[in-house]
Amino acid sequence: MSIDAQTQAALKVLLDKQQIHDVMMRYCRAVDRVDEELLRSVYHPDAIDNHGLFNGAAADFVPWCINQLRQAYTATQHFIGNELIEIDGDQAWCEFYFVAYHRYERKGEPRHMSAGGRYVDRWERRSGEWRIAERTVVVDWQRVDRVHEPDASMLTLGLRSRQDLSYRRQLA
């Protein structure tokens, strides 16, 4: 049974969108697990990133970001919500809504900074692989809250490294 050209073209677009989505999920894991190698893998070598506090080459953003994550925060968590991916040949125009949580300490007190916004991106497929070519982070809202610590002694806690459970391929 053969697939008609229209269906084949639609399937190609769906596969492209899924590949871009998967790279975005790797981006979130890379940031939250403080994984420099994985973070580098989501950008093309000549990509640009405008994160507000940083605006320049993604090759420079990656070590800057990893340093910020290690120095300023004790935990982060990024969630992707609405996503609009418009494929145009080997380019894609994308808007990913996010909610991000950043935990840090101020004067010995734990705090959470929450932010909601959008990654407004241009992606390119090169050598069959989709990666970010240009990114601008748009912040739509932000807030800071004091933290009241629950008892976490019975929980499996996340780690900000490749030792985190998510990197395992087999559970005990």
Q: Compute the 3-state secondary structure of the chain and give helix, strand, coil in percent, each to the nearest 5.
A: 30, 45, 25
What pLDDT, on a 0 to 100 scale, did the predictor assign at position 170? 66
Question: What CATH number is attached to the domain comprising 9?
Answer: 3.10.450.50
Residue where the block lists tokens 């004790």: 74
pTM of the model: 0.91
CA dihedral in degrees (134, 80, 130, 121; nearest 10)?
Answer: -20
Q: What is the pLDDT of residues 87-106, one digit of tens each?
A: 999 999 999 999 999 999 98
Nearest to 167 by CA among 33, 63, 75: 33
**pLDDT < 70 regions, the chain:** 1, 170-172
The answer to the question of residue 172 being in a domain is no
Look at residue 36 and tell me if it is in a domain.
Answer: yes
Q: In what order do the strands lie in the sheet with 109-126?
A: 55-57, 43-50, 129-146, 109-126, 91-106, 75-88
pLDDT of residue 84: 98
The reported pLDDT for the residue numbered 98 is 98
Supply the pLDDT for residue 2: 75
Report the distance separating Cα 27 and Cα 131, nearest Å: 10
Q: Is residue 49 part of a domain?
A: yes
Domain count across the chain: 1
Whole-number pLDDT of residue 172: 58
Whether 44 is in a domain gets the answer: yes
- State residue 156's pLDDT score: 84
Give the domain range for residue 36.
5-167
pLDDT of residue 153: 83
